[in-house]
Amino acid sequence: MKSIKLLMAMILLLSTLLSYADIKNLQTENVRIAGACAQCKEAIEAAAFQKNISEASWNKDTKIAAISYDSKKTSLDAVLKKIALAGYDNQNYLAPDDAYARLDESNRYERAVKRPVAAQEKMNAHQHGHDAANSPNEQVVPSADDPLKPVLNAYYAVKDALIASDGAAAASKADNLVKTLKAVKMDQLGSEQHTVWMKVVKDLDFDAEHIAETKDVGHQRDHFTSLSDNMYKLIKSAKPTEPVYYQHCPMAKEGKGANWLSQESAIKNPYYGAQMLNCGKTTETIK
């Protein structure tokens, strides 16, 4: 029995070390994060996770999370802010009221009476778009800016390459999309954007990587379908700075239909290219 327990402990230790091995310039700190259940653990760890940059392991009994991060790419403060935006109070930030309200009733915990005042002022400035001068240590994105615009532009470049049926160009543009996704600063996202981002980012990255790994246009278009579905959810979560046209091809996927986002209202079909360039219609304008 002892040998089995020892083996299990070694396997757990090895898996932890392998996980951390992907994070360079590793720093690990233990912090207290409020939560009430196993589902809270999943949500907290998902909020902290950014591939090869940061991750967390939260204990629901002690309420302590071991947060590991690349000190040259992010900070403990930035990770804790993302966790707060997901609805969980911590030692630096109190979750915005609307983020806490979105938690399932079973996931709601007893909130602290005292707030980390200095940090909370920074969170409020971020949430309500206050002038950066009100929070000298915090970068607040001007309301006219859209932190997801580079992602949308990189997506458009993949779409345009598929319209041209150019597999090599699509692979190159998808590789750039992967890099653009990794460069998103989640602390600049609004509360709703952040919630949706945490739900779709892994799938966006998965599809973009698969498009980048091949020059087979058919295979690329298969992944472009789900990539577009998740891009729609992401862009729909906030008002883009320019109109986004959500378009539909009824012939794609063997008659099941498929969608895409476009920067222009004219139909240019990425699923068939020149074969059926104008097949489809705009079903929604996001603005």
- The residue that leads in pLDDT, 12 or 178, is 178
Give buried/exposed letters for 70-102 (b at 16+ CB in 10 A, else e): beebbebebbbbbbbbbbbbbebbbbbeebbee
Q: CA-CA distance, 21 to 3, in Å (whole number)? A: 27
Q: For the chain, what percentages of helix, strand and coil (3-state, to nearest 5) are there?
A: 50, 15, 35
- What's the confidence (pLDDT) of residue 21? 53
Predicted local confidence at residue 268, as pLDDT: 96
Is residue 143 over pLDDT 70? no
The predicted model scores a pTM of 0.56
* Residues facing residue 248 across a β-bridge: 259, 281
Report the distance separating Cα 86 and Cα 153, nearest Å.
26
Q: What is the pLDDT of residue 13?
A: 45
Task: State mean pLDDT over 17-24.
Answer: 62
pLDDT, residue 147, reads 87
- Which residues have CB under 8 Å from 186's CB, separation 6+? 50, 78, 82, 85, 194, 197
Residue 146 near residue 240, CB atoms below 8 Å: yes
pLDDT digits (tens, 9 = 90+) for 77-133: 889 989 989 999 988 888 888 888 888 888 888 886 444 433 444 444 444 443 333
How large a percentage of the chain has pLDDT more than 90? 53
Taking all residues of the chain, what is their mean pLDDT, rounded to a whole number? 83
Residue 153 pLDDT greater than 50, yes or no: yes
Question: Cα separation of 287 and 281, whole Å?
Answer: 17
Rounded to whole angstroms, how far apart are CA atoms 152 and 204? 12
In whole angstroms, give the CA distance from residue 216 to residue 227.
16
Residue 173 has pLDDT above 80, yes or no: yes
Average pLDDT for residues 189-215, to the nearest whole number? 92
Task: Show the tokens assigned to 187.
Answer: 């602390």
Angle, CA 96 vertex, CA 76 and CA 117 arms, to 5°: 65
Q: Note the pLDDT of residue 186.
A: 81
Can you tell me the mean pLDDT for 8-33? 67
Dump pLDDT digits (tens) for 205-244: 999 999 999 999 999 999 999 999 999 999 999 888 899 9
140 or 120, greater pLDDT: 120
**Helical axes 76-85 vs 191-212, angle rounded to 10°:** 110
pLDDT in tens, 44-75: 999 999 988 999 999 988 899 999 999 888 89
Whether the pLDDT of residue 144 is over 80: the answer is no
Pairwise CA distance, residues 60 & 63, whole Å: 5
Ranges of H-type helices in the chain: 2-21, 38-48, 76-85, 97-101, 117-128, 149-163, 167-183, 191-212, 217-236, 252-255
pLDDT in tens, 248-273: 999 998 899 999 999 999 999 999 99
Q: Residues 40, 88: contact at Cβ < 8 Å?
A: yes
CA 273 to chain centre: 30
Specify burial of residue 139 (Cβ count, 10 A radius: 0-12, 13-18, 19+). exposed
